[in-house]
Each structure stands twice: as structure tokens, then as C-alpha cells.
Structure 1
Amino acid sequence: MIIGTRGSRLALWQAHYVQAQLKEIGITSELNVIKTQGDKIQHLTFDKLEGKGFFTKEIEDKLLAGEIDIAVHSLKDMPTDQVEGLTFAALSYRASVNDVILIHKERAVAGKPFQLADGATIGTSSNRRKAQLVDLHPGLVPVDIRGNVPTRLNKARTGEMDAVMLAAAGLERLELDLSDLVVVRPSPREFVPAPGQGVMAIQTRKDDLETRKKLAPLHNVTVGECTNVERTVLNMMDGGCSLPLGVYCEQDQLGNYHVWAAYASAADAPVKRVQISRSTRAGLPEAIVESLLG
């Protein structure tokens, strides 16, 4: 089985993880590293890149052409409208879902929100993060940054920025040493993550029923149900990676669904927050959207 993946350290970690899972169920595989638009164009922020799916399109093209059998993606990078002919065969376990603030040790200020002073610079390319950061700490100055996880971390390490914000899942999966930085972990119920954050998606051709059947044991049902709620909200808001929208759904031991959402019309616009709990997913995304836009 040929696995298509991006070439960043994190993307390769994810592809190797899936490769190990396949091996456990008796399937041998090899990796095919593919450069995407998002990898090639590093000088533009996400909202300036063309369309949706700029970390996925080239990989999906090779999948449709039959050059690869499956693709491994970060679910949060995936457009909510699947490319015609493709489908998710499995979704992984969910790593820590929250975002993390990493601060240069000499710039941390005890007693301030996020341990950051008024006027502190924080690196992030995400409109969702920018909107929520300024909503919770109006004195912050978000600054656009691009690059892989180690490159962005270095912005805080060198003091070029006072802090950077990254997804906890990537930091955990790469097992990076953060001992030289001050680490602040906001709750995902307060600082709402991207839909699908912390989850890997395995994609294949819709008509490749044999591969889909083989991959079925890798699918995490609860993660699938919760991220479906999150991504349905994103779809209904007609959003991609650049929409300032956070949605997080979790299921409790009784089977009830709890959803937190935060939305702004732009990175510098006010943030509206909602929290809704229900015993069923039916109508839940619609209720979230109605509350956010109401």
C-alpha cells in the first residue's frame, strides 16, 4: 500500500504512525512524499493562499490518479467538502486538542493573562487564534508566521517574538523539548480549537472498496462522531482554514455531546462564544450555527 504524505516532520510522524498501524493488521506499505501549495509558498499567510485545501490538493490529485493508495492528513487541514471520488476511510485517536502558548523565558509575566504583558508579540498564522487571543487579552499583538513546528518554535526561543502559539498535538507527537520555554495551556473550552484538531485522517478513493474494508479497523468511532459535529458547523459556516472559527465537541460517559464554539467575522472582530449540550447529535450543528450567527 502506497501512503501519500507531506514532507514536514509532523506529517512524516503521522504517516509513520499509520504505517505502523497497517503493519499490525498485516499490511506492508511505503511512503510517497508530496509537496503541496502550502509547503511551496511560505511568504503568504493562509488567508492569502488560493482557495481551500492548500495542504491537500496535490496529494488528493495523486490519490485520484491512482499513484498512491491512501493519504494521511491532519483532519483540521481538510476542506469539509470532500473532493469528488475521495472519502475518509478512518480517523485516528485524538491527541491533546488544545492550543499551547510558548513564551521566551525572560518575557513571561506572572499574573497577566497567558503570562504575557500588554504589547507582547505572539506568532500565529491562524485567524481563529488571533481573534481569540485578542478577545481574551486585548493587549496582545499577533504577528503572522509560517514554517514548520521547529521553525515557529525558534521565533520564541530567539526572542524574535515574545511567544508563539501552536497545536499541542504536534508538539506531543514530535516529543519536542520545551524546557527552555514557559508553556501555557489554555483549556479548549475557553480557547476553542479548530474543528478536527488533534486528529489524523486516512483518505482513499471512494470506489476502492477493498482498501476501505482493510482500513475499517483503524477508525475511531467516537472521534468520528465528535469531529463530524465540528466539521458540519465549519461547513455550514462555509469556512476553510482561514475562517476565525473554533469548534470543539466531546462526548461524556453517558453519551451526551458537549460543544463549545467561538466565532469572529474577521481576525480583528469581536468573538461570539456559545456552549450547547445535548443527548443526541441530531440538529446539534444547526443549533450551534444559529447561536453563533444569531
Structure 2
Amino acid sequence: MIIGTRGSKLALWQAHFVQAQLKELGIDSELKIIKTQGDKIQHLGFDKLEGKGFFTKEIEDHLLAGDIDLAVHSLKDMPTEQPEGLTLAALSYRANVRDLILIHKDKAVEGKPFKLADGATIGTSSNRRKAQLRELHPGLVPVDIRGNVPTRLEKARTGELDAVMLAAAGLERLEIDLSDMVVVEPSPREFVPAPGQGVMAIQTRKDAIAIRKQLAPLHNLEVGECTNVERTVLNMMEGGCSMPLGVYCEKDQLGNYRVWAAFAENEHAPVKRVQLSLSTRAGLAERVVAELKG
């Protein structure tokens, strides 16, 4: 099988992970690196880029053309609507779902929210993160940053910024040493992550029935259930990667589905929060959306 992937270190880690899983099933594969719009345009914030799916579209085009057999994406980068002819064949385990605040060691202030002083600069291009940061610590100054995980991290390491905010999943998968930084880990129930955060998605053609059957053992059922709720909320809110919307769903020990959501009209607007728990997924996303819009 030919696996389509972006060329960043994290994307390649994800593709190699899936490649190893396929090998365990006795399936040989090779990687094909594809540049996306999100990789090529580094000077604009995500909300300035055209359309949705700027980390996925070019890879999907190769999939539709038959140049590759499957694609590996970060689920949170994927639009909620699949292009005609494509489908999600499997979702991975879920890594640490949190957003981490990584602070230059000389800039951490004990006793302040997130250990950051008023006026501290924090790097992130995510409107969702900016909105929640402003709500939870109004004194912070969010600064747009782009680039891969090590590039963004370097902004805080060198002191160019006081801190940066990154997804824990990427840092853990890349095994990045953070011992020289102060790490703050907000709870995902307080600082609500992006829908699908920490999950890898394997996408293929709808009509590739044999390939879909081969990929089926890689699918994590519980992750599929929970991220389906998250992405249904995103879809119903008609949002893409740039919408200031966090949704996190988990299944508790009793089998109930618990959802936390945080939404703002824009990065400067007030954040509306919703918490719901139901014994079934039926109607759960709809109720979350009704409360967010209410």
C-alpha cells in the first residue's frame, strides 16, 4: 500500500506508526510525501487561509486520483465533511488530549494563572486557544506563530516569546525534551481541546472495499464514538479549523458520555461553556449545539 502523508516530523511519525501497524497485519507499505497549502503558506494565520482542509486537500486529491491507497492525517485538521468518494477507514488510539503551555524558565511566575504574568506573550495561531486564554487570563498577549512543532517551541526556548501553547500529543509523539521549560498542563475540561485532538485518522477511497477491510482492525471503536460527537458538534456549528470552538467527549466508567464545549464568536468574544452527560450518544451533539447557540 502507498501511504500519503505530509512531510513534517509529526506527520511522518504518524505515517510510520500506521506503517508499523500494517506490518503487524502482514501488509507492506511505502510513504509518499505530499506538500499541502498549509505547509507552503507559513506567513498567514489559519483563519486567513482559503477554505477548509488546508492540511488535507492536496493529499485527498492524490487519494482520489489513485496515486496513493490511504492517507494519514491528524483528525483535528480534517474538515467534518468528507470529499465525494472518500471515507475514514480507521481512527487511532487517543494520545494525551491536553493543550500544554510551555514557558521560558525565566518567565514563569508562581501564583499567577498559568504561571504567566500580565502582559506575557504566548504564541499560538489557534483562535480556539486565543479565546480561552483571554477568558482564563485576560492579561495575556497572544501572538500568531506558524511552523512545525520544534519551530514553534523554539520561540519560547530562545525567549522571543514568554510562552507557547502546543498540543501534548505532538510533543509526546516526537519525544521532545521539555526539561529546560516550565510546563503547565490545563485540564481538558477547563481548557477544552479541538474536536478530534490527539487522534490519527486513516482515510481511503469509498470504493476501495478490499483496502477498507484490511484497515478495519486498526479502528478504535471508543475513540470513534467520542470523536464522532465532537465532530458532529463542529459540523453543526458550521466550523472549520479556525473556529474558536473546543469540544471534548469522554466515556466514563459507567458508560456515560460526558462532553465539555467552549465556543466564542471570535477570538476576542466572550466564551460560552457547556457541560453535558448522557447515557447515550443519540441527540448528544444536538443538545450541546442547542446550549452553545442558546
Task: Please classify the TM superposition score into its range, dividing by the shorter chain length.
Answer: over 0.9
Aligned to 1:212: 212
Q: Tell me, in whole angstroms, the C-alpha distance in 1 between the residues paired with 2:138 and 2:45.
A: 22
Give, in angstroms, the shift of residue 53 of structure 1: 0.2
Task: Show CA shifts across 1:204-254 (max 9, x none).
Answer: 000000000000000000000000000000000000000000000000122
Q: Tell me, in whole angstroms, the C-alpha distance in 2 between the residues paired with 1:155 and 1:43.
A: 15
- What letter is aligned with 1:178? L
Q: Tell me, in whole angstroms, the C-alpha distance in 1 between the residues paired with 2:241 and 2:160.
A: 25
Task: Show CA shifts across 1:62-108 (max 9, x none).
Answer: 00000000000000000001000000000000000010000000000
- What letter is aligned with 1:33? I
Q: Percent identity?
A: 83
Q: Tell me, in whole angstroms, the C-alpha distance in 2 between the residues paired with 1:75 and 1:253.
A: 25
Give, in angstroms, the shift of residue 255 of structure 1: 1.1
SS of equivalent residue, structure 2 residue 189? coil
TM-score, structure 1 as length reference: 1.00
Aligned to 1:37: 37
Matched, 1:249 2:249: yes
Q: Tell me, in whole angstroms, the C-alpha distance in 1 between the residues paired with 2:61 and 2:254.
A: 42
- Measured on the aligned residues, the alpha-carbon RMSD in Å equals 0.3
Give, in angstroms, the shift of residue 268 of structure 1: 0.6
Matched, 1:78 2:78: yes
- What letter is aligned with 2:249? C
Task: Show CA shifts across 1:10-66 (max 9, x none).
Answer: 000000000000000000000000000000000110000000000000000000000
Q: Tell me, in whole angstroms, the C-alpha distance in 2 between the residues paired with 1:260 and 1:252.
A: 13
Give, in angstroms, the shift of residue 119 of structure 1: 0.3
Q: Tell me, in whole angstroms, the C-alpha distance in 1 between the residues paired with 2:139 and 2:254.
A: 41
- What letter is aligned with 1:22? L
Matched, 1:14 2:14: yes
Q: Tell me, in whole angstroms, the C-alpha distance in 2 between the residues paired with 1:150 and 1:213.
A: 36
Q: Tell me, in whole angstroms, the C-alpha distance in 2 between the residues paired with 1:213 and 1:234.
A: 28
Aligned to 1:133: 133
Q: Tell me, in whole angstroms, the C-alpha distance in 2 between the residues paired with 1:120 and 1:252.
A: 37
Give, in angstroms, the shift of residue 202 of structure 1: 0.2
Unaligned runs of 5+ in 1: none
Aligned to 1:107: 107
Q: Tell me, in whole angstroms, the C-alpha distance in 1 between the residues paired with 2:6 and 2:67.
A: 15
Aligned to 2:203: 203
SS of equivalent residue, structure 1 residue 61? helix
TM-score, structure 2 as length reference: 1.00
- What letter is aligned with 1:192? V
Q: Tell me, in whole angstroms, the C-alpha distance in 1 between the residues paired with 2:210 and 2:42.
A: 38
Aligned to 2:123: 123
SS of equivalent residue, structure 1 residue 182? strand
Aligned to 2:23: 23
SS of equivalent residue, structure 1 residue 107? coil
Q: Tell me, in whole angstroms, the C-alpha distance in 2 between the residues paired with 1:162 and 1:273.
A: 28
Aligned to 2:156: 156
Aligned residues: 294
Q: Tell me, in whole angstroms, the C-alpha distance in 1 between the residues paired with 2:111 and 2:253.
A: 35
